[in-house]
Amino acid sequence: MAVFGSRKEFKVIVIGAGVTGLTLSHALTKAKIEHVVLEREDVAPAHGSSIGIHANGSRILEQLGCLRAVEKLCIPMKQFVTRLPSGRLLNRSDFFDFIAER
C-alpha cells in the first residue's frame, strides 16, 4: 500500500474522459505522475455533442496554464439546437447572440 509522501510508486486511474477527467490527466502529466484515463464511450464524437466551459472551469484551466490553448481550438457557439434521436427539432435558440449583444 502506497503511503502519501512515500517513495513507493503508484499509478492513478482516471475514470472518464470528460472535461474533468482530461483536465486531471493534464495536471497529472505536468506533475509527472503516471496515470491512465479510462472511458467507455468515444472521446469527442464527431456528431451531436459539445463541451461547455463555464467560469469555474475557465479559472482552473487558467491555473493549469492551458486556457489560451483551449480557447484557440474553440468555435464560439452561435445557436443552441435540441433534437430528438429521430432528428425532430424540439428547440432552436439564438440565445448566444442575445448574450453577445449585452
Cβ-Cβ contacts under 8 Å for 57 (sequence gap 6 or more): 19, 23
pLDDT at 48: 62
Helices 55-64 and 19-30: crossing angle in degrees, nearest 10, is: 20
pLDDT at 5: 64
Cα four-point dihedral sign 59, 61, 66, 68: negative
Cut 0.85: pTM above it: no
Residues of the chain predicted below pLDDT 70: 1-7, 44-50, 99-102
pLDDT at 44: 65
